[in-house]
Amino acid sequence: MAKETWRFIDSGNCSPSYNMALDEALLEWNSQGIIPPVIRFYGWNPATLSVGYFQKAEKEIDLDAVKEYGLGFVRRPTGGRGVLHDKELTYSVIVSEEHPEMPKTVTEAYRVISEGILQGFRELGLDAYFAVPRTEEEKQGLKNPRSAVCFDAPSWYELVVEGRKVAGSAQTRQKGVILQHGSILLDIDEEMLFNLFKYPSERVKERMQKNFKNKAVAVNALREIPVTLYEAKHAFKKGFEMGLNISLEPYTLTDEEHAYVEKIAMEKYDTDEWNYKR
């Protein structure tokens, strides 16, 4: 059977507002039938802390620390918790809810889309598998996360190697389209990460940071030979093609499309009203 062709965009390192605006524009264009499904890879300039759509930024994030580290800051259109985008490969998937291969439930759609990420890790020689909460306590923990830090615990069908989370993803559905984007950690600066959040006490912070080592891990902590960003892109592009049974065709935005994304970035994702509204 002939494989379906999806678009592949590697947009490189972009500003936080542009990154979120491009994901939104791709969702909109797919909704309008202008473009087929898309897999996109990207990075961040500067390194950025993103918060989930429902997070209370002022309450949970040390915004002074964000400034002191010279980080960008942006609110995602997707849910989930705070993510430090630094030494990572970020991906997004844009596909219609009506696509014949996409399950109707969010959880099952995660599983299908994340099959591409699973295959990517295997391309890198890592024995990744899906996290599936088994006990009632674990399931309740997903509904009531103890921490504002995304990588503190795996959710349904997120990727785990040797019992520790290696990728975090979030999903939204708008205008009949699924947008799933997420982080594949190559390296992680734990000290910086934990300095970006607020805690009831220093003791709580220390305990959580200590526990974090048992819950999350970056790719290069699992490999004898560190993986480069180039190698990671190659592995995960191949992983998505295998996992979703598709062919990826490279695409570059036109000047007109680029200008439209810039407009969304400026009018929405660059504004304090959007980023600090909760």
Query: Any idea which residues carry the catalytic annotation?
Result: 150
163: its two tokens: 């019992």
Q: How far is CA 78 from CA 47, 55, 116, 170, in A?
A: 19, 10, 20, 6
Answer for the pair 116, 237: CB distance below 8 angstroms, yes or no.
Answer: no
Convert 134-146 to b/e letters by CB count within 10 Å (16 or more is b). eeeeeeeeeeeee
Residue whose token pair is 């109707």: 104
Q: Which of 61, 79, 73 is nearest to 15 (CA)?
A: 73
The single-letter code of the amino acid at 183 is: S
What's the rounded Cα separation, in Å, for the pair 92 and 214?
Answer: 27
Structure tokens that stand for 38 in this block: 């898309």
Q: What tokens were used for 254?
A: 């036109």
Q: Is 238 helix (H, G, I), strand (E, B) or coil?
A: helix
Number of H helices, E strands in the chain: 10, 12
> With DSSP H G I counted as helix, E B as strand and the rest as coil, what are the percentages for the chain, rounded to 5?
40, 25, 35
Residues 186 and 87 sit within 8 Å (Cβ to Cβ): yes
